[in-house]
Structure 1
Amino acid sequence: MTIFVILLIYKFVKGTFEYEKVTRFDLVIIPAYSAVMMLLSFRNIQSTTAICIAIILLLVGVSIGFLQASKVKISDTNKVDSHQRPILKVKRDWPYLIGWLITFAIGIGVEIFYGAHLNAGEVSQELFEEVLKDLSVVALLSGHSTWFVWLLNVATSFTYGACIVIRHPKIRDAIQRKNSNKNKSI
């Protein structure tokens, strides 16, 4: 199992420094899904402490999203997909990885704040699950995260996506939904 975890971490870290195709899934679907899951998991939380933590985490998550987008590099392949959208590639680099690690550490910290007693094995298991969620759509969609993990994911992924769309307007073309009738002549 340890070798599998190391291989997953290696794949995740390596992917951070390689160009990967920009997708609507990463920039639109994941933040939207995370927002829905956050709202569903947060609706039963009514304590003032939880609301204060949520506000702080939202602000911290937005800051992390800005950090993660700060050194993103975009490559235009000069190709288009079947919907005539430009195919762009993104390289996230060190700030993304550092932001991801900070987000993970904050999640562990909030769990400890709420009374979890985590040993090294449990932290390793959490790390494995988070890396797996980042690498696998199935793991992300079937994962059982708490409200604060969803909140951090919404804040970081939405801010990251918004920043790179604003800084690189061509990304908007790459992720927008194209109406097939729109491009036809009359």
Structure 2
Amino acid sequence: MTIFVILLIYKFIKGTFEYEKVTRFELIIIPVYSAIMMVLSLENVRSLTAFGLTIILLILGGSIGFLQASQTQIKDTNKLDSHQRPILKVKRNWPYLVGWLVSFAIGISVEVFYGAHIDTTEVSHELFEEVLKDLSAIAFFRSHNAWFIWVLNVATSFTYGACLMVRYPKIREAVRRKK
């Protein structure tokens, strides 16, 4: 199992420094799905502490998303897909990885704030699950996250995608709906 976890982490880190195709899944579907899950999970959480923490996480997550997009590189393949959309590739680089790690650490910190006793085995299990969710759409949609993870995911993924779409208008063309 340990070797499998190491291989997944290696694949995730390596993919951060390689060009990958820009997809609607990453820039549109993940933020929208996360927003829906955030709203649904926040229905059961009604305390002033949770409200304050939600505001803080939205601000931190927005900052992390901005950091993650800061040195992202876009490459135009000068090709079109079957729906006549440009095929673009994105390389996320170090700031994305750093932002991902900070986001992971914030999630663990909030769990501890709410009284969870976390040891190294649990941290490594959480790390495995988070990497798996980033590498697999099936794992992402099957995940059962706490409300604060959804809040953080909405803020980071929305800000990351919005920054890229503002900085590189051609990305909007690449992820638009079929004609």
TM-score range, shorter chain: over 0.9
Say which SS state the counterpart of residue 115 (structure 1) adopts. Answer: coil
* Match runs of 1:5-84 below 5 Å: 5-84=5-84
1:163 aligned partner: 163
1:135 aligned partner: 135
Question: Rg: which structure is higher?
Answer: 1
1:96 aligned partner: 96
Unaligned runs of 5+ in 1: 180-186
Say which SS state the counterpart of residue 102 (structure 1) adopts. Answer: helix
Amino acid at match of 1:75: K
1:175 aligned partner: 175
Aligned residues: CA RMSD? 0.4
Amino acid at match of 1:44: N
Q: CA deviation at 1:128?
A: 0.2
Say which SS state the counterpart of residue 71 (structure 2) adopts. Answer: coil
Identity over aligned pairs, percent: 71
2:111 aligned partner: 111
Q: Take 1:100 and 1:18, find their aligned partners in 2: how far apart are those partners?
A: 16
Amino acid at match of 2:113: F
Say which SS state the counterpart of residue 177 (structure 1) adopts. Answer: coil
Q: Take 1:8 and 1:96, find their aligned partners in 2: how far apart are those partners?
A: 17
Q: Take 1:161 and 1:68, find their aligned partners in 2: how far apart are those partners?
A: 10
TM normalised by structure 1 equals 0.96
Q: Take 1:43 and 1:76, find their aligned partners in 2: how far apart are those partners?
A: 42
Q: Which string of whole-angstrom CA distances, capped at 9 and with x for unpartnered residues, describes residues 51-72 of structure 1?
A: 0000000000000000000000
Q: Take 1:172 and 1:54, find their aligned partners in 2: how far apart are those partners?
A: 29
Say which SS state the counterpart of residue 56 (structure 1) adopts. Answer: helix
Say which SS state the counterpart of residue 69 (structure 1) adopts. Answer: helix
Q: Which string of whole-angstrom CA distances, capped at 9 and with x for unpartnered residues, describes residues 121-150 of structure 1?
A: 000000000000000000000001000001
Q: Which runs of 4+ in 1 moved over 6 A?
A: none
Q: CA deviation at 1:44?
A: 1.0
Amino acid at match of 2:50: A
Say which SS state the counterpart of residue 79 (structure 1) adopts. Answer: strand
Q: CA deviation at 1:178?
A: 2.7
TM normalised by structure 2 equals 0.99
